[in-house]
Structures are given as C-alpha cells and as structure tokens.
Amino acid sequence: MAGKTLYDKIFDEHIVREQEDGTVLLYIDRHLVHEVTSPQAFEGLRLANRKPWRVGAMLAVPDHNVPTTNRLRGIDDLVSREQVETLDRNCTEFGVQEFAMNDKRQGIVHVIGPEEGFTLPGTTIVCGDSHTSTHGAFGALAFGIGTSEVEHVMATQTLLQKRAKTMQIRVDGQLGAGVTAKDVVLAIIGKIGTAGGTGYAVEFAGSAIESLSIEGRMSVCNMAIEGGARAGMVAVDEKTIEYFRGRPFAPQGELFEQAAAYWRTLKSDPDAVFDKVVVLDAAEIAPQVSWGTSPEMVVPVSATVPDPANETDPVKADGMRKALAYMGLTANTPIEQIAIDKVFIGSCTNARIEDLRAAAAVIGAGKVASNVKLAMVVPGSGLVREQAEKEGLDKIFLNAGFEWREPGCSMCLAMNADRLEPGERCASTSNRNFEGRQGQGGRTHLVSPAMAAAAAIAGHFVDVRQIN
C-alpha cells in the first residue's frame, strides 16, 4: 500500500466517526474567532440555549474593524464599534479568551495564532475566515469556514467534512535574489489559476519551499485560497519545531519534546501518491505584479499588461477586458510604467517582522515619491510592531515618509477608515485585488513587501532586483 500524504495523516488522526457515504465528523483542535463572522454564531448558540463545547480551544481577537490610528480614543464608526463590542460581550458571556483591541497581543488573527503558539503542528485549525490556510505552514490542517460552521464548531468542537483530493505543488531549485515567498505564490496562482486548487488540499514542497523561512511559508499558505484550495500546508521540519519553543500557548519542557517527537512525523511519506502534482522551477520565478481584478491576473515585473486579443478562451478574454477597464489600464503597457497613488504594506500575507525588515531594507535612506499620496505600514500584531520598533524599522519608514500604524487588517479590505478612493491605484502586499476590495473603485496591484517599498520610492513599479 502506498504511503500517506501529510493531509491524510492529519485528517485520519481527527476522525471522530465516519458515515457510510464517507462524510466524516472531524475533531477541531483550535478555533480562532474574529468580530466579523462570529456574532451570528454566538447568537445561534444563545437562541438554542447551547454552550461552547470546549471554550479553551477558542481564541478571539478583533482585527477587521479596528482603527490603526489613535486607538485609545476608541472606534469612531458606530457600526464598526458595535461589532467589536459585540465580540467583547460575547467573549465575556461565554468565557472565551480574547485579546481585546488595546491588548498588546492584539493583531490579525492569522498572525497572532502562530505567534502565541495557539497554532501547533498536526492540529486541525479553523476560523470564520478564508485565510485560515495560513496556519498550514506549520504542518497543520487549517481552513476557513462560514458562520454556520463557526457555530457548529463552537457547539460541538467538530465539523462535517468530506475528504479532499490532494495536490502537491513542488517548487524546485533556488530562488533568485530579490524573489520572495510572495512572488512564489503569485507565480503559482498565475500558473494554476484561481480555481486550480478547488476541491484539493495543497501541500507545498520542494527545495525552494523548504528553504523559505517560517514567515515565508505562511505567506505561501496564506494565498492557497487564492488558488482555490481551502487548505495549503508545508511539512514540519526543525525550523517549524524551533519556532514554537517558548511560545505562550505551546507545551513547555518535557511535554514539548514529546510533542516535537510526534511533529517530526508530520510529512508525506516518500511513496505517498497525490491526486495531482504541479512543478515549478524556482529559478524561473521573477518578482510578480498583478495587473487585473483576480489574483491569477499576474505577470513578472519585467512584462507588459496582457492583451485580451491574444486569449483564445472567450470567457477569459471577456474577464480580461472587464479587468482592464476597471483597472484603467491599456493592454501592452510595460508594468514598470504604471504609476501608483498609494502603498499598503500589511495584511495577514505580509505583515510579519520579516516582511517589515525586507521593506525597510529596500527603502534605506530613500524617500516616498512625490506622486504617492499615502504610504502606510500596518504591522500584523502588537508584538510585531514592538519588535520592529526595537530594531528601529519604524524610524526608517517614518523618515522615508511612510505612516507607521497600529495593527489590524486595515486597507487589506477597508472595513475600517483606511481605504482607497475611486480610481486610486495601490501597490499592496495583501492577497486580493478584487474590484472594490480596498475601497470602492480602488485599483489594487498585489506585490511583495520589497516590491511595494521599491514602488513607493520610485512612484511606479520597478524591478527590485535592479535596486541593490
């Protein structure tokens, strides 16, 4: 019999019971909660007179609606405030641990889970948020769910699941200088398309993935969902294990070693068979820039905006035309000639310490270009912010003319006050370039932190490889 994939190992370990038709009741180890997708679930519990099954398996944090300036003043937007206060009230009522808005540990839910050691290898992790795939970077099975399922997990600590198909995406070889994890995942999505991973759990593998830092692996898994896969994962190695040593929610001492011995088994067996395998050559990946309104609409920075006239699939060509119109772009324009209005360095894709270091390194003593109206850095958590300040990164950003904000989702989806105005063009380190995502009529180009920083200084996209 063939060996098992990492996905199958974790899935099998969590089966509570299996129905004849293959529907599995899957045990959930960790449940992250934020203010946007939880109020109706808490309300459902209340209406049915139910209690959370295992409150200690939950951790809550407000992140989407929180302001990134003057936070001690509270939230001006009444509707946002109501949502954050509803989370506070629900957590108090049901006894759920919460990092409230002014807690130093507050931050984007997918940044704080690992940072606290709440995320652990080999666990099943869910959150009412599609970017829960991020946590797969630690050899966990992590995926986003809707609010009804949030309530289901709260009430039962389980989910009804069908086994997914498995896909291995292997990136072999060595990445060039200036090419980051973000470029790798954008290149992958460009290759497989936004629905390429639908129905699959994806394992990212190969020497280029192994050589990525933990933060880099998180960026890759974060965007698995942009390739259609609910879950993205990376096998456990020593880097993963070392990451968790001493984290507040992680086991300590002897229990840590016992856990680590198990974690070391969390990799696909050499003879495991995947339903699909996709291979990329790391050396061929250049820094990427998205040009359209779907993350698959992405090209190397050295390329030009694609021409729908060259697309044979009519549905695709139509999508390209709509995207060009929305983005205010003309086919065949060199990417490096596209000028930008705003820069956003942040989000659960790229707001960890390594991302901020990479951006600061590109900026050096440079200044934000005069045509750029706003350049902002929004750290992923209070602890990331604190660390960056210890390293003096905030000074580099501030001296260059960036704004240095408090942690949260911010302009990744513009539920708080941070947003693009209609027609504004933004170099963004976030994960979605959908129409209106960063503000109605706003135009988003997805890039790595280094590329965003370089664009801020130049005022237009530039190949970061030609800077140093």
Distance, in Å, from the CA atom of 153 to the CA atom of 142, rounded to the nearest integer, reads 14
The residue among 108 and 125 lying less far from ligand SF4, judged by its C-beta, is 108
Give me the least distance between CB of 369 and another protein, in Å please.
28
Distance, in Å, from the CA atom of 48 to the CA atom of 41, rounded to the nearest integer, reads 11
Give me the least distance between CB of 186 and another protein, in Å please.
16
Distance, in Å, from the CA atom of 342 to the CA atom of 79, rounded to the nearest integer, reads 26
Paired residues of 58 in beta bridges:
31
Give me the least distance between CB of 231 and another protein, in Å please.
9
The residue among 149 and 406 lying less far from another protein, judged by its C-beta, is 149
Give me the least distance between CB of 114 and another protein, in Å please.
16
Q: Which does 325 bind (CB under 5 to 8 A by kind): ligand SF4, another protein, none?
A: none
Would you count residue 64 as binding ligand SF4 (CB under 6 A)?
yes
Q: With b meaning 16 or more CB within 10 Å and e meaning fewer, what string describes 12-29?
A: ebbeeeeeeeeebebbbb
Q: Which does 280 bind (CB under 5 to 8 A by kind): ligand SF4, another protein, none?
A: none
Q: Which does 347 bind (CB under 5 to 8 A by kind): another protein, ligand SF4, none?
A: ligand SF4
Q: Which does 135 bind (CB under 5 to 8 A by kind): another protein, ligand SF4, none?
A: none
Q: Which does 157 bind (CB under 5 to 8 A by kind): ligand SF4, another protein, none?
A: another protein
The residue among 106 and 347 lying less far from ligand SF4, judged by its C-beta, is 347
Applying CB under 6 A, the span of 43-51, 105-113, 194-202, 360-368 interacting with ligand SF4 comes to 105-113
Q: Which does 373 bind (CB under 5 to 8 A by kind): another protein, ligand SF4, none?
A: none
Tokens of residue 109, six digits? 């839910």
Give me the least distance between CB of 294 and another protein, in Å please.
5
Secondary structure of 283-302 as H, E, C letters:
HHCCCEEECCCCCCCEEECC
Beta strand 276-281 pairing with 165-172: parallel
Paired residues of 194 in beta bridges:
none
Would you count residue 31 as binding ligand SF4 (CB under 6 A)?
no
Give me the least distance between CB of 404 and another protein, in Å please.
24
Paired residues of 428 in beta bridges:
344, 446
CB 392 within 8 A of CB 119: no
Tokens of residue 17, six digits? 């019971």
CB 140 within 8 A of CB 123: yes
The residue among 171 and 415 lying less far from ligand SF4, judged by its C-beta, is 415
Give me the least distance between CB of 111 and another protein, in Å please.
18
Give me the least distance between CB of 139 and another protein, in Å please.
14
Applying CB under 6 A, the span of 107-115, 147-155, 228-236, 443-451 interacting with ligand SF4 comes to 107-115
Q: Any idea which residue has 């948020």 for tokens?
A: 129
Interface with ligand SF4 (CB under 6 A), residue total 14
| CB < 8 Å & 24+ apart, contacts of 242-247 | 243/114, 243/138, 243/214, 244/117, 244/120, 244/121, 244/138, 247/115, 247/116, 247/117
Q: Which does 352 bind (CB under 5 to 8 A by kind): another protein, ligand SF4, none?
A: none
Q: Which does 411 bind (CB under 5 to 8 A by kind): another protein, ligand SF4, none?
A: none
In the region spanning residues 375 to 414, those forming contacts with ligand SF4, defined by CB under 6 A, are: 409, 412-413
Q: Which does 396 bind (CB under 5 to 8 A by kind): another protein, ligand SF4, none?
A: none
In the region spanning residues 129 to 148, those forming contacts with ligand SF4, defined by CB under 6 A, are: 129, 131
Nearest to 127 by CA among 35, 198, 15: 35
Tokens of residue 331, six digits? 């086919």
In the region spanning residues 317 to 356, those forming contacts with ligand SF4, defined by CB under 6 A, are: 347-348
Give me the least distance between CB of 18 and another protein, in Å please.
10
Give me the least distance between CB of 431 and ligand SF4, in Å please.
5
Distance, in Å, from the CA atom of 253 to the CA atom of 264, rounded to the nearest integer, reads 17
For the chain, the 3-state helix, strand and coil shares in percent, each to the nearest 5, are 40, 20, 45
Give me the least distance between CB of 347 and another protein, in Å please.
13
Tokens of residue 250, six digits? 């992680």
The residue among 8 and 129 lying less far from ligand SF4, judged by its C-beta, is 129
- Residue 317's alpha-carbon distances to 308, 310, 322, 333, 456, in angstroms, are 5, 8, 9, 17, 31
Burial class (CB in 10 A: 0-12, 13-18, 19+), 321: middle
Would you count residue 108 as binding ligand SF4 (CB under 6 A)?
yes
Q: Which does 348 bind (CB under 5 to 8 A by kind): ligand SF4, another protein, none?
A: ligand SF4
Applying CB under 6 A, the span of 75-83, 102-110, 278-286, 386-394 interacting with ligand SF4 comes to 102-110
Q: With b meaning 16 or more CB within 10 Å and e meaning fewer, what string describes 406-435?
A: bbbbbbbbbbbebbbeeebbbbbbbbbbeb
CA dihedral 456, 457, 458, 464 (to 10 degrees): -90
In the region spanning residues 415 to 434, those forming contacts with ligand SF4, defined by CB under 6 A, are: 430-431
Contacts with ligand SF4 by CB under 6 A lie at 63-64, 108-110, 129, 131, 347-348, 409, 412-413, 430-431
